[in-house]
Structure 1
Amino acid sequence: MISRTPFFNQTVIVAGILNLILSCGLSLGFISSFLEQNAERNHLRFSSDVQKSIEIAGEIAFLPSIVIIPLLMQKKGRKIAIYATTLPLLLSWLISYDTKNVGTIITVNILHNVALGGAVATSSIIISEYCDPNYRATFLMLETAMMSLGILISHISGMLSCWGLISSVGILTTLTPLIATYFSPESPYWLTSQGHIIKAKECFYNLRGAHESALNELDDLLTTQKRKLQQMVIKPIRRLNLREKVVDYLKSLLKADFLKPLSTMILLFSFVGFSGENVVSNYSFRHVFNLANGKYIGTIILDVMTLICSLTACVLIQIIKRKTLFLFTGSFSLVFLAMTMILLILQSFEMFAKDYLWLVLSFITGFIMFMSLGTSALPFSILGELFPMSYKGIGSSLTCAYLWAFGNSILKWIPTLTAHIGVYGLLLLTLLSMSAILYVVNNVLPETHSKSLSEINELMKMSNCVVESKLEDNNTFDNLMLFIDV
């Protein structure tokens, strides 16, 4: 019989989340492979307009998902959020077995994007709250590796037209998080924020044990919640109408506790978005392989390289601190991007022979490798750590919405910018933008390595809350029944 140690309990819930991410990776590869090959085995043909309609339907489903599911997570708990993310994905895989018309593939793509939006917006938060700070970094970095693995499996299966295999693996990888979540406790952080202190302690001991560092983290968590309740007690109590509630909530979003982590996350995702990593890589490999199925081989090579780099990052994150790893990989990415730009400029002046174009590809490959070694994955990992408990839902929603909007804007503007300023001009603009962002990130990003979420929140706070700093524990407050479950 397996001993259910705290680490085992953490591993169970993380395994469920990672399988959910793996299934989302499968869904991304499934749709793209299916559309590219036009499902020849099923005798389906999709025009460019139909393919565009399928993609738009997915985006329309993705946007509400990254808003609704995080808010549901904030209100009803982390386990409900996992169910809300996983069940649409399970249904999509069941439907995908019989993809015989446009309506079916649109339905599958909609359900896939509902799950993808929920997973992107909530998975990092859930892992951060369930895991010990010593393991949290590796578990969070594995999310990117699982996404890459899912895309790789689906691309290989798609190249062989094994659509049923992808659906079967998809079902298995969605059943796992459902089972793991059912047998796992609720997040002690969420329970504490709702005032369920006794139950939160039980769940915390179940997940972390009772060693010194765990007890210190629990004490910090309870102290933080106690201070929030103290502030609520000393405020005058009055009934607010709907308009006043909305205004009060919007005012709370203008506080430094929310704006500072939000602006930090926007900077991090802007750095990744400006890199144009996917565009550069796909463009490069598409023009290198000219044999039959060449584009699929190039895509698979890129997937394998990304997977290897993501797994390597899981090791590096245990050795190198988060901020250091981001600055290190980001800086070397800029170096390779600068070398690529210089060679393209020399080529435009006919000072660089075409026989050495492999050198350009090598620099682009180096750029992609360093991005995959940490720069691309770290913002998603840090997303679950920076926002205070009361802002995790809305913070995650706004951050992911920005990432989607920014990424789509970059993709749409790239052809226009390239036509006006050329490829080397575009690379120069990208290089300057990324360098400026990296400089600012170096000054504002806190180091979260091996720190509890409470400690990270303290690092992110602005020292302008005089009332909170002066509040002290007192026996009278402890005697109130605010900390007791009803």
Structure 2
Amino acid sequence: GAFLATIAFSFATGMLVAHIFGTLLYWRTAGVACGSFYAVSLILISLSPETPPYLASKGLYTECRKSFRWFRGCDHVSEKELNILLNSQKREISVTTGPRWRHYIDIAKRQEFYKPTVIMMFMFILFQISGMTVVPSYTVPMMKEVTGGAIESYTSMLMVDVLRFATAILACIVVNKLNRRTVLFLGVTISVASLFLTSILLYLRDFGYIPDEYKWVPIIPTMFYIFGKTLGILPIPWAIAGEIFPLAYRSLGSGISGMFLSIMFFVVVKTAPASFRDIGVSGTFCVYAFCISLCGIFLYFLLPETKGKTLYEIECHFKNTNANIKDSSENYRMLELEKIETGRDEGE
């Protein structure tokens, strides 16, 4: 969980560095500086081996073993997990007969696949509709309207970035200490309350109920909004994504949910300028708060707690079963997976 939460830290760090470059450097120089990170990332990815599940799914078992050991080492528990992965993929390949589309339809009907996929779709809707990518993209004009020009726009942008960066560090600790649902719904609650309060203050200022010397006040709940979404809504989807999918369907499920994330990214970012123009920041914040509330309600009833649970327990939750599984081969695989995750040896 803490390792997956570092994705949030990387996101916040990237925004901070990009905005510092944009503030201090000429735009061409800033573009080259930001592009250099892509070049370094490309080199690092090129030096890394292909992922073990993909190699196993293609029947490249020797390469799969080498890749798995490169990532995870060669200790006893890792070797047992590798064997479970290989056996699972071998069975999946052996039972795949007929057209591939029939195989995918069969997978889509399985509760342990479609339930986590639907949950991750809602998680990524929440992720994007909370303004996770809109705020970094339009920080300057947004903060200019929020502060009423009382604070220089680029200064307020860096304030947001520093707060996001500090909160992302805190999130790495909190995610490891508290339950996933607790952190998520804490972030949802803070974000919704802060967005509605910011909207109310902006409307009051527009109607002249807030004196000019206090026109900067809406920035206070706005900063709480940045804190809330970075603490809970930013890290938890990535932590859940690494825990909620069974090993056999993780690649397919992650691909579908990742595609949905990209679609929502496009929709939210492209509609934001028109939203700011037509209903203002105050109206846009109201819409975001309402959508976050809806997603939060759905996830409250759909999302199970995954912290401290093994993949075996999570998969059983979605299948509405326990350890007494009727299918003997599936029972063997699940029990072996449980042994690996609880650290028990075969002879125990």
TM-score, length of structure 1 as denominator length: 0.55
1:472 equivalent in alignment to 2:328: yes
Aligned equivalent of 1:375: 233
Which stretch shows the higher mean deviation, 394-403 or 318-327? 394-403
CA drift at 1:363: 0.5
Give 1:155-166 correspondences, 5 Å limit: 155-158=19-22, 159-161=24-26, 162=29
**Letter of the structure 2 residue corresponding to residue 258 of structure 1:** F
Cα displacement string for residues 303-328 of structure 1 (whole angstroms, at most 9, x for unaligned residues): 22221111111111121122211111
Identity %: 23
1:411 equivalent in alignment to 2:277: no
User: 1:267 is matched with which residue: 113, 122, 141?
Assistant: 122
* Secondary structure class of the residue paired with 1:336: helix
**Letter of the structure 2 residue corresponding to residue 139 of structure 1:** F
Give 1:155-194 correspondences, 5 Å limit: 155-158=19-22, 159-161=24-26, 162=29, 171-172=39-40, 174-179=42-47, 181=48
Aligned equivalent of 2:73: 207
CA contact (8 A) 2:120 2:237 kept: yes
In structure 2, stretches of 5+ residues that fail to align are 334-348
1:323 equivalent in alignment to 2:181: yes
**Letter of the structure 2 residue corresponding to residue 353 of structure 1:** P
* Secondary structure class of the residue paired with 1:359: coil
The alpha-carbon distance between structure 1 residues 394 and 462, as it changes in their structure 2 partners (threshold 3 A), is same
Give 1:8-87 correspondences, 5 Å limit: none
Cα displacement string for residues 398-454 of structure 1 (whole angstroms, at most 9, x for unaligned residues): 222222222322334345556665654443333232212112212211222243444
Cα displacement string for residues 156-184 of structure 1 (whole angstroms, at most 9, x for unaligned residues): 344234556556665555544555x36xx
CA drift at 1:301: 3.3
Aligned equivalent of 2:4: 140
Give 1:186-335 correspondences, 5 Å limit: 196=61, 199=65, 203=69, 207=73, 209-210=75-76, 214=77, 218=80, 240=98, 244-280=99-135, 282=139, 283-287=141-145, 288=147, 295-335=153-193
Aligned equivalent of 2:294: 436
* Secondary structure class of the residue paired with 1:440: helix
Q: 2: CA distance between counterparts of 1:404 and 1:441? A: 20
Q: 2: CA distance between counterparts of 1:369 and 1:355? A: 25
The alpha-carbon distance between structure 1 residues 340 and 301, as it changes in their structure 2 partners (threshold 3 A), is closer
CA contact (8 A) 1:190 1:389 kept: no
RMSD: 4.1
CA drift at 1:356: 2.4
CA contact (8 A) 2:179 2:307 kept: yes
Aligned equivalent of 2:224: 366
1:385 equivalent in alignment to 2:250: no
CA contact (8 A) 2:88 2:248 kept: no
CA drift at 1:362: 0.9
The alpha-carbon distance between structure 1 residues 372 and 470, as it changes in their structure 2 partners (threshold 3 A), is same
The alpha-carbon distance between structure 1 residues 190 and 323, as it changes in their structure 2 partners (threshold 3 A), is farther
Which stretch shows the higher mean deviation, 300-309 or 412-421? 412-421
Aligned equivalent of 1:109: none
CA drift at 1:264: 0.4
Aligned equivalent of 1:149: 13
Q: 2: CA distance between counterparts of 1:206 and 1:377? A: 23
Q: 2: CA distance between counterparts of 1:424 and 1:167? A: 34
Q: 1: CA distance between counterparts of 2:319 and 2:163? A: 39
Q: Which has the higher contact order (CA 8 A, sep 6+)?
A: 2
The alpha-carbon distance between structure 1 residues 286 and 441, as it changes in their structure 2 partners (threshold 3 A), is same
TM-score, length of structure 2 as denominator length: 0.73
Q: 1: CA distance between counterparts of 2:100 and 2:12? A: 42
Which stretch shows the higher mean deviation, 398-407 or 350-359? 350-359
Cα displacement string for residues 282-313 of structure 1 (whole angstroms, at most 9, x for unaligned residues): 1343455979xx55444333322221111111
CA drift at 1:205: 11
Q: 1: CA distance between counterparts of 2:104 and 2:205? A: 55
Aligned length: 320
CA drift at 1:191: 6.4
The alpha-carbon distance between structure 1 residues 448 and 222, as it changes in their structure 2 partners (threshold 3 A), is farther
CA contact (8 A) 1:227 1:471 kept: no
**Letter of the structure 1 residue corresponding to residue 326 of structure 2:** K
CA drift at 1:372: 0.9
Aligned equivalent of 1:80: none
Q: 2: CA distance between counterparts of 1:204 and 1:173? A: 19
The alpha-carbon distance between structure 1 residues 354 and 229, as it changes in their structure 2 partners (threshold 3 A), is same
Q: 2: CA distance between counterparts of 1:168 and 1:423? A: 34
User: 1:395 is matched with which residue: 233, 242, 253?
Assistant: 253
CA contact (8 A) 1:286 1:295 kept: yes
CA contact (8 A) 1:309 1:372 kept: yes
CA drift at 1:251: 4.1
